[in-house]
Chain A
């Protein structure tokens, strides 16, 4: 029995493992090799020094950092709050309907959802142009000014990604035993106190899971600014995010080594922060 189960388990992960090795581990190993070499000769940290000195590097770090702060904070707060509200809706069709609505934007793939946002953000064609005009934006160039891009990108990312997470959180809330909630209610806890003292602490693992995945995805910000850059004919610059910079290094400057160095920096940062969240969030603790 034990053995059969293990075999099924292996079968389930085998395909994933093959792809992980081919498209995850091997490219990473190749990137590590590239990052410390130049024309196949070992050069130590020279590629990293070159990248750090690049005038575009710090602004890109700043852009991605700001975006991550705005996005992750709003993601955590809004997803948890919305999930708890949806979970509290007693009317079944309403609850199902709302969950379905949340999920729809997530079904659009990255680039196509950005295409949709191009129309939303252009005051001359936007269905919410009154809102944009109200904010003082009268042309697309004004809407995509660099100083409010972190917020704009966070809104786009939230719109595309948050729905799926609300559904995940909803599932997690379903897992909380009714007895615990019942006991809290008997002890006199209202919905807010129940949420704060019972539901959110029990969601900790799921929140950590969401943050780890979202953080890893967020540091790789590429599609949104890239498409906005093409659409705005360069007003959103081609070097806005770190991944865009890595792309320019590889394909504009033919410097695959510098490109690998940037990718490796991203990998290390994402790994370190993920480890922190995994352990602080108790992601691998057995319940």
Chain B
């Protein structure tokens, strides 16, 4: 058995190359997008040596973070000091002891970081990383869903900016009739359906209460969202092309509006390889809501920094974490910073640049403060079930009405496998 332990430890070594902590150095796992921020930290704090291991940041629910920690746990060594994850449901497992090994994440709220520092977060921002009242991670950026629209096209066609989901659907009908080929959004990735439409539409399809998972497909709000998607797919105002795909980019000049997260700003509109908007052409509006519902919205990701409970160098870790989420150069790493003071500065700078028309700061602030809290953060993602059941189903010409029961079954099965009671 010893040889097995050694060989496992060796493989973990190959992956993680842990640093002996006698010196003032820390090992950080993060994705390539975060690399400039880590380098900015190294420049500002030359006394701390950072050993950066670049991975995929677990994007698309790939599970890289959990996979590598499971391996280190099994080997009994090889943990990093700090980890960045693009997913915001990791707290469910990093806060738990696994197979007799202590929970990976360091509790940040019980004195590890100052209470005053943690209170500097935008209200609600730390909810996804708070388990039983304890904070396990620091949010990097916020990704609330808001409503983006092409001001030039709306003005040219003479339409008003929709305020509710009903307005949005009606705009789709008018557009399909008068300007066929123009469209209002995409459902081609696995995140738009669950987060942009169901979460924003207050649909209780992904809920956690204690250890119980529930998904209600016949709730009136769920049905309304499903009908909306089916309706707009049918009249062609919703596309099944991925927003990151070549065919979406090819017809991006026909995109009239799109509900989506704050990070669409950089990922789509200011991206020369995507929509590549002209300054003043696109604008952000507050999120859509149901005319008889609450003014709430959804959320698509927003990364998290975790500290390891195994670290030998807690002081360096504290310095790193506080720097990375608050410093002007690094906070938010291109998106809306989750730390309030940094967010205000970022929004002011965006407003000053004037790239987005209208009240950009107002729209984003409204969205950030109204993320619906009826969505759960369990140890699995609704995206895997969506990609497995809905994406191929819609491509084969089926509707949400046909598919939502199968989607629900798949999510419930997944919940059961990872240990939730299913309601």
Contacts and interface: CB of A to CB of B under 8 A. Distances in A.
A26 B3 contact: yes
B417 A254 contact: no
Given A141-B395, A142-B396, A145-B392, 14 more contacts: A22-B7, A30-B1, A56-B413, A141-B391, A142-B392, A144-B392, A233-B189, A233-B242, A233-B387, A234-B61, A234-B387, A237-B387, A237-B388, A253-B419
A178 interface: no
Given A27-B4, A252-B67, A230 B413 contact: no
A253 B417 contact: yes
A16 to B, nearest CB: 18
Contacts of B74: 256
B89 to A, nearest CB: 12
B240 A234 contact: no
Contact of B190 (A33, A233, A250, A256): A233
Contacts of B386: 234
Interface in B391-409: 391-392, 395-396
Nearest to A257: B99
13 contacts: A55-B413, A124-B245, A141-B391, A141-B392, A230-B62, A233-B60, A233-B391, A234-B190, A251-B63, A253-B417, A253-B419, A256-B74, A256-B99
A253 B386 CA distance: 20
B81 interface: no
A252 B384 contact: no
A253 B387 contact: no
A139 B395 contact: yes
Contacts of A124: 245-247
B390 to A, nearest CB: 10
Contacts of B242: 233
Given A27-B4, A141-B391, A142-B396, A234 B246 contact: no
A22 B246 CA distance: 47
Contact of A235 (B4, B73, B387, B416): B387
A142 B62 CA distance: 22
Interface in B34-65: 60-63
Nearest to A50: B417
B71 interface: yes
Interface residues of B, number: 40
A39 interface: yes
Contacts of A252: 63, 66-67, 418
A250 B67 CA distance: 8
Contacts of A146: 392
Interface string B63-93: 1001100110110000000000000000001
A113 interface: no
B100 interface: yes
B120 to A, nearest CB: 34
Interface string B1-44: 10110010000000000000000000000000000000000000
Contacts of B73: 254
A256 B101 CA distance: 14
Nearest to A31: B4
Of A55, A145, A254, chain B has the most CB atoms within 10 Å of the CB of A254
Interface in A74-100: none
A54 B387 contact: no
B417 A54 contact: yes
Contacts of A139: 240-241, 247, 395
Nearest to A258: B417
B395 A142 contact: yes
Contact of A39 (B3, B62, B99): B99
Nearest to A33: B1
Contacts of B391: 141, 233-235
Interface in A121-178: 124-125, 139, 141-142, 144-146
A214 interface: no
- 6 closest A-B pairs by beta carbon, nearest first, are A234-B387, A251-B67, A237-B388, A141-B395, A55-B413, A254-B98
Interface in B98-131: 98-100
A55 B4 CA distance: 31
B417 A237 contact: no
B70 A250 contact: yes
Given A124-B246, A253-B417, A238 B395 contact: no
A266 B416 CA distance: 24
B211 to A, nearest CB: 15
Contact of B383 (A33, A234, A253): A234
Interface string A206-244: 000000000000000000000000101111011000000
Nearest to B96: A254
B388 A235 contact: yes
A216 B312 CA distance: 45
A254 B396 CA distance: 35
Interface string A21-63: 0100011001001000001000000000000001110000000
A58 to B, nearest CB: 12
Contacts of B413: 55-56
Contacts of B241: 139
A118 B258 CA distance: 29
Contacts of A237: 384, 387-388
A230 B61 CA distance: 10
Contact of A254 (B7, B61, B70, B190): B70
B396 A55 contact: no
A191 to B, nearest CB: 46
Contact of B384 (A26, A54, A234, A254): A234
A26 B247 CA distance: 50
Nearest to B416: A55
Nearest to B99: A254
Contacts of A253: 417-419
